[in-house]
Structure formats: structure tokens, C-alpha cells
Amino acid sequence: MEKPHSKAALWLLIIPYIGLLWPSFYNLREPSLFGFPFFYWYQLLWVPITATLTWIAYRSTRHDD
């Protein structure tokens, strides 16, 4: 049986897609972080965010037998 929050958790997977959909939004040099232009650190920031959201979606949709 499907958990009640499983469909809502799958919507979490759309957040990184939307956050990285328009490169013109983050194609900037400033603000820089530790010498990295915004373009690079913004994308790099999404790596742990996406991993965390994927983990949350997995945990809420998996079926323990």
C-alpha cells in the first residue's frame, strides 16, 4: 500500500529541475563565494540539495516488506 505522503514527496524531485532550468537566471559572475563565480557555486550548491531531496523522496516512497 502506498504511503499517503509518497506522491507529495515525488514533487520534491521537481525542485532541482526548476532551480536549474533557466541558465540565464544564474549566469552571473557576482556574487562570488570563496573566489568562485555565482554561476559555478549556484550549480554546485544544488548537488547536496538534490541528494537530500532524492533521499527524502526515496524514504517516503519505499515499501518495507
- What is the rounded CA–CA span in Å between residue 62 and residue 46? 24
pTM of the model: 0.75
Note every long-range contact of 51-57, with CB atoms under 8 Å and residues 24 or more positions apart, other chains counting.
53/12, 53/13, 53/15, 53/16, 54/13, 56/9, 56/12, 57/9, 57/10, 57/12, 57/13
pLDDT by residue for the chain (65 residues), tens only, comes to: 555 566 787 888 899 998 889 888 888 888 988 998 989 999 999 999 999 999 998 888 876 65
What is the per-residue pLDDT for 46?
A: 95
| Residue boundaries of the structural domains of the chain | 6-61
pLDDT of residue 6: 67
